[in-house]
Amino acid sequence: MTPAFRGCGGDVARQTTVRKVVEAVGISRVYQMPSRLRFRPAPPGTGIAFHRADRNACVAASLDRASLSEGRLVLGRSPGQVEGVEHLLAAVVAQGLTDVFVELDGPEPPAFDGGASTFAEMLWEAGVATGRRFVPTLQVRAPFRWECEHGAVELRPAGSLVVEAREAGHDGNGQRVRLHVTPRSLTAELAAARCPAWTGASRAREALFGSGAPARRSWSPAGEAHRHHTLELVGCLALLGHPLQAEVVVTGPALDLALPALRSALAQTGVLDLTAPGRPVPLWGARRLLDLDGVAAGMG
């Protein structure tokens, strides 16, 4: 996670980005097209910004730009949109990156192993560059609960990011995953969980990282499906635009519930505070509305 310390006025984190450019090529999941992905260092204040090199278009990872389509997270609008980026974003959240350019040469990142293992390995290879600047963190001031007929999302105060996902409709015997979100825990508990009905081979990943890549955990199909939802929930937390220090408890289909629940939490007064070094800042600062046109123009 982003390095944080307790200052006068709240917890703050330092700006972090990748240390160097890393690139990988694979086949996208839905379009089954070759896709090239690059993570590039970004200056403070950029946030997580996707760059469609084929369209020279940029879109920020933010709730304002996010929608769901056929169970996949979409950012922006056609023709410059990016699709199915939830696994990639989960690896970015776990790495604690506040700023990074994600460059694609099409609408969809490579699927690799069907989970997030390769994204996590790419970011590990890139390394983390910690800047001098402090960045505000989002903190939960009062417990929050949002629910609908399909499940519920709760936010509770915590000093770091903890995620718990439970299956709906069970009397305590259903699948349950709980973890402190770090690069290590994501890799161990979630990253190998693949999309439902995943049929792709892991050959592309083996070509990249050799046969020494760790074998998948032996989860049951139901267990893997639950961990996959939890992985996607972690990815959705990137849409808040700032490091989140909270306990997030989800009961039900996490990806479907996350977007409306996070929007509701941000809209409600007194739930989430954005805390900068020494002073609280207005919550509207949590809505990152970046004008990325200049960013696209400046990228090669």
Quickly tell me which residue has 């590990």 as its tokens. 124
Q: Would you say 80 or 84 has its CB closer to Zn ion?
A: 84
Q: Would you say 195 or 239 has its CB closer to Zn ion?
A: 195
Nearest-approach distance from CB 74 to Zn ion, in angstroms? 13
Nearest-approach distance from CB 210 to Zn ion, in angstroms? 25
3-state secondary structure of 185: helix
3-state secondary structure of 4: strand
Residue 227 φ then ψ, to 5°: -65, -35
Quickly tell me which residue has 């990872």 as its tokens. 61
Please compute Rg for the chain using Cα positions: 18
147, 200 contact by CB (below 8 A): no
Nearest-approach distance from CB 197 to Zn ion, in angstroms? 11
Q: Of 244, 234, 220, 266, give the one whose Cα is nearest residue 159.
A: 244
Handedness of CA 7, 237, 101, 267 (dihedral sign): negative
231, 90 contact by CB (below 8 A): yes
Q: Would you say 4 or 73 has its CB closer to Zn ion?
A: 73
State which of positions 187-206 bind Zn ion (CB under 5 A).
195
Nearest-approach distance from CB 34 to Zn ion, in angstroms? 20
Q: Would you say 14 or 194 has its CB closer to Zn ion?
A: 194
Q: Would you say 195 or 265 has its CB closer to Zn ion?
A: 195
Residue 61 makes contact with Zn ion by CB under 5 A: no
Q: Would you say 37 or 286 has its CB closer to Zn ion?
A: 37
Report how far apart, in Å, the C-alpha atoms of 181 and of each of 96, 156, 170, 240, 279 are. 9, 15, 25, 16, 26
Q: Would you say 70 or 149 has its CB closer to Zn ion?
A: 70
Residue nearest to Zn ion (CB): 195
Nearest-approach distance from CB 194 to Zn ion, in angstroms? 8
Looking at this protein, which amino acid is placed at residue 185?
S
Q: Of 169, 286, 281, 143, give the one whose Cα is nearest residue 226.
A: 169
Beta bridge partners of residue 137, listed in sequence order? 275
Number of residues that bind Zn ion (CB under 5 A): 1
Nearest-approach distance from CB 67 to Zn ion, in angstroms? 16
- Spatial distance between the Cα atoms of 280 and 275, rounded to a whole number of angstroms: 5
Nearest-approach distance from CB 114 to Zn ion, in angstroms? 8
Q: Would you say 4 or 195 has its CB closer to Zn ion?
A: 195
Nearest-approach distance from CB 117 to Zn ion, in angstroms? 13
- Spatial distance between the Cα atoms of 36 and 110, rounded to a whole number of angstroms: 7
Reading the block at residue 147, the tokens are 């629910």
Residues that bind Zn ion (CB under 5 A): 195
